[in-house]
Chain A
Amino acid sequence: MTGILILEQALNGLQFGLMLFLLASGLTLVFGIMDMINLAHGALYMVGAFFTAWLVQLTDSFWLGVLLAVLLTAVVGMLLEATLLRTLYARDHLSQVLATFALILIINESVRMIWGSDLPLSAPQVLAGPVELLPGLLYSSYRLVIIGVGLGIALLLFLLVTRTRMGAWVRAGASNREMAMAMGINIRALFTGVFGIGAALCAVAGAMLGPLLAVQVGMGENILILAFVVIVIGGIGSVWGAFVGAILVGFVDTLGRTLLPFLFREVFSPQFASAAGPAVASIAVYVLMAVVLFVRPQGLFSGRS
């Protein structure tokens, strides 16, 4: 275990955590304010990635493609909210889960019909190589850009939520929906707006992770589970909680994959360690969630009163 290894893993954890935050912040606001479980949130992440891959090809510019894809995905999200999801707010959670699960299947197959099961997307050529952060520590420049974008958006989101009128409405809605409505806040428009922002954040995550992972049908489902873990840990309805939860999950997942097999090798026999180490590392995140639920069932920073 060297300092450089731990530093590099910390950067990896931060990068992963920030991308999780982009997904989880939208999810936690929708869940907290509208009391709506939206399983199709991951599908918007996939739609964002596909839009990006498609538009980067069309415009021949990575950043222009990302920008257009984010706007388009926000429009798709708002359309979904205005036409379909709005009718689900009054229903119970089970109906919402069933309806939005159906939406996942519909969106997956629609994307497959339009673009096929996957699209190629590469990072811009300038960012393909590594940069030397410290002597002996080369780090992927694209991952650094992801960290920068993630931090920038997180900052913008905090300013939006804590310093603007819309942010005050959002916090009021998350804290007590009925009272917020009674105070004359146009909940309908607010919900559509929040949904659009959530979709845009999904698209940013999809666009940034696309070149690193793969732009393919079904990419949203795996990461959605982690996004739910994040909001359960952070507390439903709290953007700050989503941030802390996402960074925690990012670090535990990344460091767990390094440290746990290492500890197992030190303590147990090699056969047992090589079998159990990776298995335990892959559930470390869920153990963290279970511990948080046990100690603070409402999450670390619940947005609800």
Chain B
Amino acid sequence: MRLAFLKSLLTLSSVAALVAMPALAADKVKIGFVSTLSGPSAALGVDIRDAFMLAVKLNGGKLGGLPADVSISDDQFKPDVGKQLFERYVKRDKVDFLTGVVFSNIMLAGLPEAVDNKTIYLSPNAAPSPIAGAQCSPYFYAVSWPNDAYHEAAGQYATNLKVKSAYLLAPNYQAGKDSLAGFKRFYKGTVSGEVYTKLGQLDYAAELAEIRAAKPEVVYTFLPGGMGINFIKQFMAAGLNKDIRLIQPGFGADQDVIRAVGNDMLGVFDTAHWGLDLPNEANKKFVAEFEKEYKRLPTLYAAQGYDTALLIDAAVRASGGKMEDKDAMLKHLKTAKFNSVRGDFRFNTNNFPIQNYYLREVQKDAQGRLVNRIVGQPILANHGDAYVKDCPMK
């Protein structure tokens, strides 16, 4: 009995070896991680990296049962540097997965390098609309959220509040215009002002005076990084928060902004696909472990980095460690079962997520710290994106 079993096992494995030579199980998972880790915007990339490495650490240094070999590089917030790093990871190091980039312009510079050479890119943040639509690729997965989604949720929230007049402000570049277009797609009231400022502007005195004169019910801004921190500080210093409600996309009122602005953030509303207090087990574990490891609260970016590692873990596990079989790996990524910190979500035909978006409010927690708390039911439930119809993938 025992012998026969062994014999058949031997036969099976030799047959398997003959048939599936190229799909031998690999001895490790090679991951190239490119992110912005220096300069004024470094905090975002650092959070993605720290959370990604936390997930690997909690997994005993493995992803999908194989030792994880993660190589980390700094794109210095420069698209050309990012492109070179993509090229190095794809052509020289022949990594199994690429991930890490924060900013759309840097990711778009490097992405062709990956997808044209059939290297899988898992985006922990940037998910611009062209990649969701006509330029979608089976080798690209957005583990985060489509670029417009937070703005659409904010527009829907303003509509739910029956806001009559909203004042919109964004930097004068493509992402700024896209974001306000996303807001207007779901906002049904009137727009009392739509202002585009110089990218990188730090003094908003003139715009704040206009806002005071326009007397809108709501101000919505898309001002990432230092621009947003300055705007919010000056908005509060000018006393505009007494009569006007400020709504932000999730990253505009996250822990990094709260740290910089302080108590004035109390009561600011923002929209996001994740929150510190989402009541699922994976999230509770993530928030507790992140705080224990790094002595600070995680941001959205951290949650996205953590989920990216969990996705790799699930897909590699499902593939049985056969890294060479790309087609199978793409299927395993699409159907990967893992406990995301955002709760349940699935990938649409364009590999962008369909998920819930919540309203969050900056409040004090039990320890007196300022944190984002989720308010009520999802603003948009099982929400995809507007561009999927242009994507030829089925």
Binding site for B on A (CB under 8 A): 1-2, 4-5, 8-9, 12, 15-16, 117-118, 120, 122-123, 128-130, 137-143, 212-214, 216, 254-255, 257-258, 261, 274, 278-279, 282
Residues of B near A274 (CB, < 8 A) are: 194, 196
Q: Is B80 an interface position by the 8 A CB rule?
A: no
Q: Is B288 an interface position by the 8 A CB rule?
A: no
Q: Mark B210-242, 1 if CB is under 8 A from A, else 0.
A: 101100000000000010011000101111101
Residue from A15, A117, A130, A216 with most neighbouring chain B CB atoms (10 Å): A130
Residues of B near A120 (CB, < 8 A) are: 260
A2 to B226 Cα, complex, angstroms: 31
Contacting pair B172 A117 (CB below 8 A): no
A203 to B205 Cα, complex, angstroms: 22
Which residue of B197, B205, B236, B262 is within 8 Å of A254 (Cβ)? B205
Known: A4-B213, A130-B238, A258-B206. 15 other contacts (CB 8 A): A9-B206, A12-B206, A128-B236, A128-B237, A130-B239, A138-B238, A138-B240, A140-B234, A141-B237, A212-B230, A214-B226, A214-B229, A254-B205, A258-B209, A279-B172
A216 to B40 Cα, complex, angstroms: 8
Q: Chain B: which residue is nearest A216 at the CB level?
A: B40
Determine how close the nearest CB of chain B comes to the CB of A157; give it in whole angstroms.
Answer: 24
Contacting pair B202 A213 (CB below 8 A): yes
Residues of A near B234 (CB, < 8 A) are: 140, 212
| Interface positions of B from 173 to 217, Cβ below 8 Å from A | 194-198, 202-203, 205-207, 209-210, 212-213
Q: Is B368 an interface position by the 8 A CB rule?
A: no
Q: Is B39 an interface position by the 8 A CB rule?
A: yes
A216 to B206 Cα, complex, angstroms: 22
A255 to B206 Cα, complex, angstroms: 7
Interface range for B: 20 to 34
Closest 5 pairs between A and B when the two form their complex, measured CB to CB: A130-B239, A138-B239, A5-B213, A12-B205, A8-B209
Residues of A near B264 (CB, < 8 A) are: 128
Residues of B near A1 (CB, < 8 A) are: 213
Determine how close the nearest CB of chain A comes to the CB of B207; give it in whole angstroms.
Answer: 7
Please name 26 pairs of A and B residues whose Cβ atoms are closer than 8 Å in the assembled complex, sorted by A.
A1-B213, A4-B212, A4-B213, A8-B212, A9-B206, A12-B206, A12-B209, A15-B205, A117-B38, A122-B262, A128-B236, A130-B237, A138-B212, A138-B240, A138-B242, A140-B239, A143-B205, A212-B203, A212-B234, A214-B202, A214-B226, A254-B206, A258-B209, A278-B195, A278-B196, A282-B198
Q: Chain A: which residue is nearest B259 at the CB level?
A: A120
Contacting pair B209 A140 (CB below 8 A): no
Residues of A near B206 (CB, < 8 A) are: 9, 12, 254-255, 257-258
Looking at chain B's contact residues, the main secondary structure is: helix
Binding site for A on B (CB under 8 A): 38-40, 172, 194-198, 202-203, 205-207, 209-210, 212-213, 226, 229-230, 234, 236-240, 242, 260, 262, 264
Q: Chain A: which residue is nearest B241 at the CB level?
A: A130
Which residue of B198, B203, B212 is within 8 Å of A278 (Cβ)? B198
Known: A5-B212, A138-B242, A258-B209. A278 touches B197 (CB 8 A): yes
Residues of B near A279 (CB, < 8 A) are: 172
Known: A5-B209, A9-B206, A214-B226. A139 touches B39 (CB 8 A): no
Contacting pair B203 A16 (CB below 8 A): yes
Contacting pair A213 B230 (CB below 8 A): yes
Determine how close the nearest CB of chain B comes to the CB of A115; give it in whole angstroms.
Answer: 13
A140 to B198 Cα, complex, angstroms: 22
A141 to B234 Cα, complex, angstroms: 11
Determine how close the nearest CB of chain B comes to the CB of A129; give it in whole angstroms.
Answer: 7
Determine how close the nearest CB of chain A comes to the CB of B361; give it in whole angstroms.
Answer: 22
Residues of B near A117 (CB, < 8 A) are: 38-40
Residues of B near A138 (CB, < 8 A) are: 212, 238-240, 242
Residues of B near A257 (CB, < 8 A) are: 206-207
A213 to B238 Cα, complex, angstroms: 15
Residue from B212, B240, B242 with most neighbouring chain A CB atoms (10 Å): B212
A130 to B241 Cα, complex, angstroms: 11
Residues of A near B205 (CB, < 8 A) are: 12, 15-16, 143, 254
A93 to B180 Cα, complex, angstroms: 47
Q: Chain A: which residue is nearest B264 at the CB level?
A: A128
A203 to B355 Cα, complex, angstroms: 51
Residues of A near B40 (CB, < 8 A) are: 117-118, 214, 216
Determine how close the nearest CB of chain B comes to the CB of A127; give it in whole angstroms.
Answer: 8
Residues of A near B172 (CB, < 8 A) are: 278-279
A16 to B209 Cα, complex, angstroms: 14
Contacting pair A139 B238 (CB below 8 A): yes
Q: Chain B: which residue is nearest A132 at the CB level?
A: B239
Determine how close the nearest CB of chain A comes to the CB of B394; give it in whole angstroms.
Answer: 36
Residues of A near B226 (CB, < 8 A) are: 214, 216
A255 to B209 Cα, complex, angstroms: 10
Contacting pair B230 A258 (CB below 8 A): no
A16 to B205 Cα, complex, angstroms: 9
A140 to B237 Cα, complex, angstroms: 5
Which residue of A128, A130, A137, A214 is within 8 Å of B230 (Cβ)? A214
